[in-house]
Chains A and B, each alone.
Chain A
Amino acid sequence: MNDLEKTIFDIIAKEAQIPREKISLDATMQDLDVHSLDAIQVVFEIEDRFGISVPEQDANFNSSTVGDLLRSVQALVNAKAANAAA
């Protein structure tokens, strides 16, 4: 598990108050019973931690999986790093 994955799992566990071992890459927010108000707090914490902005259309909390979220965050973090290097 890389640092990004670990951070995101930690945030979900804390904001949604669910045991960390229940979280997996293929679980959806719905599977994890993460309600919308908790889900937007998860995204807020991620945005704040990494200094990124997750677009609205990526925040389809019910159908996307933790893995989807991880991939879009990774892409945003990479884009930010590329911008900083340029």
Chain B
Amino acid sequence: MQRPERTRVVITGAGAITPLGLTAAQSWQAMREGRSGIGPFERLAGHELKAPLAGEVRGYDPAQHFDDKRLQLLDLTCQYALVAAREAVAQSGLDLRAPELSERSAVVIGSGAGGESTHDASYRRLYAEGNPRLHPLTIVRLMMNAPASQLSLEFGARGPAFVVSSACASSNHALAQALLMLRSGQADVALAGGAEACLTLGVVRAWEAMRVLADDACRPFSKDRRGLVLGEGAAVFVLETLEHAQRRGATILAELAGAGMSADAADIVMPDAEGAGRAMRLALQDAGLAPEQIGYINAHGTGTQANDATETRAIRAVFGAHAQALAVSSTKSMHGHALGAAGALELLAVLGALREGVLPPTINYREADPVCDLDVLPNQARERRIEAALSNSFAFGGLNAVLALRRWD
């Protein structure tokens, strides 16, 4: 596809805190090995849950990262975002406070639910304990924009900064937005990704009521799949214009080559193959990639009956005969559905696949389903060098965002 020369955008740092590990490297290592981060729902132990399992971040000690005074300002969502961003910025080697860079640094973070643990604690005081007085920092903890504001403060990034919210597609919309800002010249560097920490009783009960939670395991694409498993965490990436990265001799992890976004305008919860397929096509077109160049798709793959069948139809419609040749997996089988952070966690999987030539598996897979008849990498990672990959996110509400990544040699 011919297109005028335009600004290219690359990834030069990755950081994460996930159910699979407390760093990006640990999280990717677990995906590579097909290890699960899903287990008994420890935070809600004692409550009788219909689906008593979750992908929880384990072994995280806030005191190792923040002093008491700082912690008072931070909902768990912000803590995760900051921990991930520190790792990403350290890897990039950038000092965003530098005078020439500070105003050219953007922050775009996706979050679906925002400061849920702060809401939960506040309502407990008000309604359960009958205490009419809330902590004076309640608002700054729970405001939806808090992760973007905290990252901006921490790193001295003074360019455009905001949070985007589109449920399970929030991270991909955030990364797409950052890509567009770098291309348009509004910034040279962006911290972009997603953070979610909403494993509270209220949120879990609400998901329970939708009857989409699996009570045994997350088994995307397997015929006996019973639904999704909730997760949490954050992943943040340093995006830079290629020119900026090359000028300073940065190590480039991959190119964020394109993004495609669409809305189904069909149903508030049921997925739609047309909308999903259109987002994939737009991502390919935006990246200047032919379908045949895609070797791997990190699927939205929630493990619900409806999503996985619809996503399969969408992939077949977009890729035609090449749908047989490419590999597709859902790493949600390992880290759970981190909702607004999902696309960011899954970008780790795509980066790992592009850099190491290892495609992470769909674990817990037991039985082929004729309506999910793709090469879904059942239970075993596969060594395969790929040139480019897509990462799909399709949200409740019919909002879709797909990223296209290209290997950087």
Contact = CB atoms under 8 A, between A and B. Distances in A.
A59 B269 CA distance: 18
Interface stretch (A35-43, A66-74, A78-86): A35-43
A67 to B, nearest CB: 20
Interface in A34-73: 35-37, 40, 43-44, 53, 55-56, 59
B209 A56 contact: no
A43 B226 CA distance: 18
Interface string B256-290: 00000000000011100000000000000000000
B211 A37 contact: no
B211 A43 contact: yes
Contact of B269 (A37, A44, A53): A37
Contacts of A44: 209
A40 B210 contact: yes
A37 B270 CA distance: 9
Contact of A56 (B226, B268, B269, B306): B226
A40 B211 contact: yes
Contacts of B268: 37
Nearest to A35: B270
A37 to B, nearest CB: 6
Contacts of A53: 50
Interface residues of A, number: 10
Interface in B224-238: 226
B215 interface: yes
A68 to B, nearest CB: 16
Interface in B37-73: 50-51
Contact of A59 (B51, B211, B270, B306): B211
Interface residues of B, number: 12
Contacts of B213: 56
A35 B306 CA distance: 13
Given A36-B269, A36-B270, A37-B269, A56 B210 contact: no
B175 to A, nearest CB: 30
Interface string A22-35: 00000000000001
Interface string B203-215: 0000001110101
Given A40-B210, A43-B211, A44-B209, A56 B270 contact: no
A68 B165 CA distance: 40
A43 B209 CA distance: 9
Nearest to B270: A36
A43 to B, nearest CB: 7
Contacts of A36: 269-270, 306
Nearest to A61: B211
A31 to B, nearest CB: 19
B231 to A, nearest CB: 19
A83 to B, nearest CB: 14
A36 B213 CA distance: 14
B212 to A, nearest CB: 9
Nearest to B51: A56
A40 B306 CA distance: 15
Nearest to A43: B211
Contacts of B269: 36-37
Interface of A: 35-37, 40, 43-44, 53, 55-56, 59
Interface of B: 50-51, 209-211, 213, 215, 226, 268-270, 306
14 contacts: A36-B270, A36-B306, A37-B269, A37-B270, A40-B210, A43-B211, A44-B209, A53-B50, A55-B50, A56-B50, A56-B51, A56-B211, A56-B215, A59-B211
Q: Which 10 A-B pairs have the closest CB atoms?
A: A40-B211, A59-B211, A37-B269, A56-B215, A44-B209, A56-B50, A40-B210, A56-B211, A40-B209, A36-B270
